[in-house]
Each structure stands twice: as structure tokens, then as C-alpha cells.
Structure 1
């Protein structure tokens, strides 16, 4: 168990947290939610001891081990992958190294033997002999193959590093597990594995995430940060949302009834206070009036962008035809004879772990790179806009936000441009911020502003939900659902895909395409997905039938 007792954090004149009292108990998974800047990550740092509170304290049940997801992706660059994972249990790793030093001695003494014996006993108690196999199992579950287990961390790409650090946090059955955005940089298969791991985890979990489906799947409670307080709700994210909306409605209804009562009493007092025969009743009404107090209803600190994609031209029947596209990158064939036709009602989600192949296909369709073989043809009525996975070059200049967006606007009028920025929560002075200093989430909101102002009838989006807060993801989700054109996209957000897509495609590791008209959940239960799990292709099945 871990609890916060009267925790206050003062930053300048502002209290980020004020007199917070909350207890996290064993066997539960708590989703920590709140608007951007509410202090979710900061609160986790206070719980882990990385940051001191201004007042109050954190209490952990004596003897319990706390583990958390490291945010410094370079901290373990000189260690190999397996060792990095085992370091999740600091004491166990220290024993392993102490044993190595003792057994490497040439002049092994009796004292060394006694110390080694004690270490071996503690090592066995901590299941040390299973440490490497347990670490390997976690890595494999997250998609880090055995060929990478002996690699040095600095040789891994960013996404794989994150997976290793997540395996480190999960290692050794910690009593308290704190995870800050654990699904970032994970593919959908790894997220599904993590969901199952946490569902079966028997100890205390506190997780910050913008993934609504993930929170619904794993959480038993929601801890909502708003106005420097943390309110605890039983149930998952959807239950929290319904409960908080119901509570707000009940308070509004209660205030409305109170206001009607106040008006009724005030009218009586005004009419009869000077009437001798009614003065006693008027005085009684006045006392009753003084006792009525309206509930203090604070609006949520959450802010939702308004995302509305409106094409300037209706799309025709011919949208996109892809014929035999192939592409090899660094000796690996990432696209192998890909062919498909896009229809005017399609909202296509590309899923699966082969993200390089999807990004490569999107770059080809956007004209950024050439295929090795094959062709693609856009229909004559099509106008498209593209959201790239890596947008760094787009913002590497001295433009202000307004100047940057104006270059994409069909109307250069400043009021018109600022209207689109306002929808994406860039108000007032925000418009003169330099684009090169924007945060990841602000850059994403700029790119969505660009897509809205371009008024195209085809949207190609490569992982747009990365870096967005939950409110922005919800707004983008709603915007795509009502978009009357074609959307081709990829995302790590299960609910985003399930509620938006009507067609699923997956480029499997051999560069070939699975194409199925269905929702995402239907696809996960489909024969195609079953074959993928078994490592079989259609041709394998046919060969077996012929035999």
C-alpha cells in the first residue's frame, strides 16, 4: 500500500496540489487522469521520491518494493538489455554482481565463502535463478526478440529502449508499480500483452495514460486530478466519465431547484414584509432564505479542441488505386507487391507492429519517396493532406504559429486563420509563439489545424494520437468519425481505431498486405489474424490442402 498524506506542492505562488489525501491499496489498478498541466507526472514523481512535496508525506507499507517506469532513455546505455531489465530489482542485481566479484577472486577466503553462502541464500529467496528467464519472458512479450537480449542498450532504437525500460519496471513482481504513459511507443500487440499482464497483476498499480481503451481494460479505480485536488472513483474510465457527468448534472439540477425556491421566498418577502398580518410569515421566509446555499460547481479544467474537417469538394468514385508497390530499405523488403483500391466511403486503419512498412507506404502515397516497383493513382477529384510521423522539419524555422498556418490557408485573412488556431486551443498571445519551441502536443495540434484549414477530402494520418492528451484524442476521434471524406490512418489507440475505421489493413513482416472490411475488434477475431499469429500465409494453407 502507498498513501499520500496532506500532500501540497507549491510552485511559485501556484499550488499544483493542495492537502491531497489518497490511499492506493493492494490488488487495485488506479488510472491517474487530468488535463495537460494538472500534474499527473509530477504526482508520480512525488510518490516515487524523485520530487519532494512542499508539505505532507508519502507512506509505503514497510518492506514493500516500489518500481516505476524510467523516463531517462539514456540512463542504461552502457548496459546490456537483460541486465537493464534485472536492474528493476536493485537488490537482486546487486547480489548478482557481488557474487560475480567474490567467485572471480583467486585468493578465495573462508570469509568469502561465508559471504557467498549468505548471498546465495538471499538470491534463492528472491527467485534469482529464474531472473534471466523471467526477464527474457517480459522482453519477448513486449516484442523484444531474443536476438536483442544481449545487445547494449545504446545500440537499440528509441522504441525498443522504451520496451526494455517497461520490462525493467515490471520485473520481479514489485509490490507497487507506477507507470507514466506506458503505452507510448508500443505497437498494438505489445499494448495488448501489457493489458493482460496488468489484469493478472495482484499488487498495486498506478498508471498515467491517455489511452481510453487501455484505462477501461486495466483500471479498477480512477484518480482524477482537477483544481489541485485528487478525487477517487471506483470503476474504469468510462464509469468515471459517466459518474462525473451524472454528478455535475445532479448538482446543476439541485442548484436550479434551489434557485427556484430562492426566487419564491424572495417574492413572498418582498410582497408581504410590510404587511402587518403577514410580517411574521415574511420573517420566517427570510430566515429560510438565509439557510439556502447553492452548490459551488467549478467547471472542469479540461479543455477540448473543436476538430471539424470540412472538404471544399465532394470526393468522386475513384479515390486511390495502388498496384504492385514494392520497396526495400536497408536490404529489407518492407513492401512486397502491395495492391489495393480505396473506395469513397473508406476509413482505413493500418494496424500491426510493422510500423516502418506503414510509414513507408504513407510517404510513397504522399510523394515523399519513390517505390522500387509498382504504381499508385489518385482520382481526379481527390485533394489530400498528410500528417507525418516525423514532423520535425515542418517546424524547424522562425515562423510564429500564425505565420506558419497562414501559408496553408486559402484565405490569408488573419481573423480567418486565428479562428482555426482558436479551435485547437491556441488563443490570444499563443499565436505569436515560435513554432520551433512548441511541445510535441502543440505541434500535433498545429498539424491538425493545417489539415482542417486545407479543406481536403482525403486525410492520411501517420500516428496522430501520439503526444496528444485525452481531450484532444477524443476531439480528433469525433472529428474523423463525422468526416465525410476518406481517412487512411494508423494509431496506437485501440478505441480510436475501433470507433473510426470500417476497413483494416496490416502489412505483415514479409511486406505483404492483409485487407479486411471490418471493425478493428472484428479483425482481431478474424481468420486472417489467427493465421498471422500462427505465422502462416494463405499459400501455406493451400499447400497443406493439396498435401
Structure 2
């Protein structure tokens, strides 16, 4: 359904990818993966027609409906939520709005008006044969967490997370033949992500999706498009299938090259020894011809680089870690937290989960004493605890005119220069990048900076609020391993199930009705208990 022929994309002298030839078939769902900066979003924009300046050709049959997940959450501020979703089928939206205008102001004695109404009715029947567009839209909105009583409110009344949910509903509603999704799980809670997985598994056309959520990719995609080596290679299977295949291929390439290099050394040695010997000259000439034909394939360095995240506590903790007692908090008349009480024992690693708006970040801020509970309660840290904190919005903290190195050193001026630079290097900032101005770095780089700060701090109790936002898959896997290996406490808010599976020994789920579930066990065990109905 989508054909890519001889596609090459450059930014100045930099080649993102070249000579790409792909055929993306119906009934296949492609996960587009690659390191940050490899060109995933650029390739998706080329496929969807948002970028037109490239060499080569992208062909999508004209009869196919194309759906592209919007990224501008503020594009529909004056629309009702229902209309914003309906706009996903612009032909139907325009026809319905024109019909409404004619019924309000039209002259029904005029044949032209009646003829136009007949034309519009034909369009509506073609696009919505069952006349159930409003029912279908309402169902999708409720599934993404927008309640029915809000459907006729303006988009401007929603927060940014809910605006994104409406954009997701907008692209899913028309059931396009070709679907392009860039990070569709952003701002979604775990339950909504699970619903989205089931929706996309039923997609009958062609789909290309970018996601840093490994669990989501494994659940949804049938094929992988890997942007690396300035190429886009296709693999059959999900992310885990690709991971195994890619590592086997890299190892095989390495072994093949090693074998060829050994053969090359032997041939060169023979030629050197016998080229001057008349009796061996024929053999030497033959070996030289073999040597000339021998191709040594360079193993190109992958654009992927795995960060090395290691948290080491400087101080051994005592018998008490953290007590959270009867926390209540309201924003005006909106009660968010009610009587939250739990004790964190030394060594426990807790995941805090729940839908958007249930108070996860508020609870974290209260725990970190960034804000006081408005309706009572107390937070008591153990005497030996030294917390280290990763806030949700790193942009509020990582700012100023200094370099990356300067920003980190400001927290501990006595720290050895080599240690700071080594820590930045572990988070993939090379020597030149360490001199960048902190104001100029991306969201993902700011998250890696915050992880660098935490590694240098050496706290024995890590508190993290949505640390995987803006991180690529390699960094998320490395973070999960680091939290698992950490010899201390962890409290982490996240919707990334692979991360939760990696480290959590206890799950606290906050609910919309202000109750909460405190589950002893891994996230996998928690999910199984919920599915079995025992929670």
C-alpha cells in the first residue's frame, strides 16, 4: 500500500539515509525504531507527505485514506471536543457543517439549495452509512478517558495530556487505510495504552508507528523498520524478535570479518615469502589474485549507543527509610489525594501508577517536600536517608548560560573534574558536547543530564517522576537495569511497563475515586492479579 523507491534524505552534508527501497504491505504494522537523531520522525514525515524535499519517490494509491497523528495539541482550541474528532474525516465534517448552516439559514424555495442539500446528504451516506458518527466518536473519546459530559466542551478547556488523547481519537475515528503514528503512547496512562494496543491490533490496513515503549511495540507490531547505518532495514516480527536478530547479524558480521582478516594475513604472508622465489612464483601470483578479490566488509558503527547508568549509594541506610502518613491534598474544590498512608522499608522499590490526574506527581512533590499537603498528613524520612530526585519537568531545573559540565559542577564545586566528565561520557555526551550550552539541549538530553546528576549525587533513596519521557529505547532499558541493580530504595512514577517490570518489587496504584491499591510484588504479578479479578 506504500511504496518507497530510491529514497535519499540529506541535511546539508549529513546523510540520514540513502537508496531506500521498501514496500509496506496491507495487514502489516511496522514499528519504526532507531537512535534519537537517526531520522525516524523525518522518515515518517516523508511517508505522510509532511516533508516533500527529498530524492526518490513515495507512492500511496490515491484511493487509500491516510491518517496522521497530529502533534499540535493547540490546533483546535475553538472546536468542541466532538468536532475536533469528527475533523479527522474532513469530508464528512465539511458536509455536516454545511448542512447545519443551510438548515439554519437556507432558502428551501430555491432549487439550488435543495440540490446542494442532496449532494451533501450523499457525501454523508458515503462517509457514514449508518448515521452513527456521533455514537462512534463518543465511544472512542470515552475509551481514551474523556467522559461524555465533556464532549461538547471546547478543546481549550482541556489540559495538554487530554488534548493529545483527542488527537489520537481524531486519527483513529475514520479508520484510515494507512496510519502513521509518532509516539502515540505519550501522555497516556497504562489502561489507555492497553486499550490502544487492542485497537491497533485490529487495524486492517498499513501502519507505521514510532514508539519508545518496548512493551507497546511487542504487543502491536508485526514488522520492524530499523533506521541505522544510513539504511532502513526491515525485519519480520516484533521488537524482541528484531533485537535477537540484529545482535545475531552483528555477531555474524564480526565473525565473518575476523575470518576474512585471518585469511588475508595468511595470503599476504605467503606472497611476501614466495614472490621472489622462482619455483613458487606461480603460486604467489595465484595467492595475490585471491588477495585482490578478498573483500573485507567494514562493520559500520551503529548509530545506537547504550548509556552506562550506574547508581551507587554513598551512605548505607539504617532501619527506617520513609513514612507517608494520612496525606490529603486539594486544588481548590478538587480533591486529589485522600488519606494516603504507606511505609517504605529499606531496600523496597516502589512503582506508583494510575490514570492521568489522580495525583501521582502531586504525591511525589509532597514526598520530596516541594509542596505541603493542603489538608493534612506528614512525610517522615529516616535519619540516614539521602534522597536523589528526578522531577517530571527537567526544563524547570536545567537552565542557565553555562555548559553541561558547568551545570553539574555547580552542585558540587569540589568534585573532581575527571569524575564529572566521565559521568557525562557515560550518558553519551562526548568531550565536545559537554561544552554545549544547557539552554540549547533537547528534552532527551536534559533527561540524560538529570540522570548524570543523580549518579554523581550518590543518594541512597531514588525518587523519579516519569523519567522515561524523551528517552530512547536503549536508555530506558539501561535505566531499568540500573534501578534493578541499585542497592537502595526507589520510588518511581511511570507508565512504561518494561521499566516497571525491570525494577519494581511493590506497586501502589492511585484511583480516580481517591482510593489506592498497595500490592506487594512485581508489576507482572500485579497485572496478572488485576486480570484475574483478585484485586
The interval holding the TM-score normalised by the smaller chain is over 0.9
Which residue does the alignment assign to 2:44?
A: 44
Picking from 377, 386, 406, the partner of 1:374 is 377
Distance 1:414 1:106 in 2: 76
Matches within 5 A, 1:79-478: 79-108=79-108, 109-127=110-128, 129-371=131-373, 372-409=375-412, 411-478=414-481
Cα distance change of structure 1 residues 410 and 528 upon mapping to structure 2, 3 Å threshold: farther
Which residue does the alignment assign to 1:509?
A: 512
Equivalent pair of 1:409/1:417 in contact (CA under 8 Å): no
Cα distance change of structure 1 residues 103 and 531 upon mapping to structure 2, 3 Å threshold: farther
Q: Deviations over 1:295-354 (max 9, x none)?
A: 231010112221110110122231112222222222222221111111222111011205
Which residue does the alignment assign to 1:544?
A: none
Distance 2:62 2:106 in 1: 40
Distance 2:49 2:317 in 1: 56
Cα distance change of structure 1 residues 272 and 228 upon mapping to structure 2, 3 Å threshold: closer
Deviation of the 1:19 alpha carbon: 2.1
Distance 1:133 1:52 in 2: 37
The 3-state SS of whatever aligns with 1:242 is helix
Cα distance change of structure 1 residues 83 and 352 upon mapping to structure 2, 3 Å threshold: same
TM-score of the aligned structures, taking structure 1 as reference length: 0.93
Distance 1:253 1:266 in 2: 20
Which residue does the alignment assign to 2:491?
A: 488
Deviation of the 1:415 alpha carbon: 2.3
Q: Deviations over 1:55-92 (max 9, x none)?
A: 22221123111010111111111111111101111111
Gaps of 5+ in 1: 533-547
Deviation of the 1:148 alpha carbon: 1.8
TM-score of the aligned structures, taking structure 2 as reference length: 0.95
Equivalent pair of 1:313/1:457 in contact (CA under 8 Å): yes
Cα distance change of structure 1 residues 437 and 10 upon mapping to structure 2, 3 Å threshold: closer
Q: Name the stretch that deviates more: 243-252 or 332-341.
A: 332-341
Equivalent pair of 2:229/2:301 in contact (CA under 8 Å): no
Q: Name the stretch that deviates more: 193-202 or 13-22.
A: 13-22
Deviation of the 1:436 alpha carbon: 2.8
Q: Please provide the CA RMSD for this pair.
A: 1.8
Q: Name the stretch that deviates more: 406-415 or 385-394.
A: 406-415
Distance 2:532 2:72 in 1: 35
Cα distance change of structure 1 residues 313 and 116 upon mapping to structure 2, 3 Å threshold: same
Deviation of the 1:356 alpha carbon: 4.7
Deviation of the 1:285 alpha carbon: 2.1
Q: Deviations over 1:520-546 (max 9, x none)?
A: 1221221598477xxxxxxxxxxxxxx
Deviation of the 1:426 alpha carbon: 2.1
Gaps of 5+ in 2: none
Distance 2:128 2:531 in 1: 40
Deviation of the 1:23 alpha carbon: 1.6
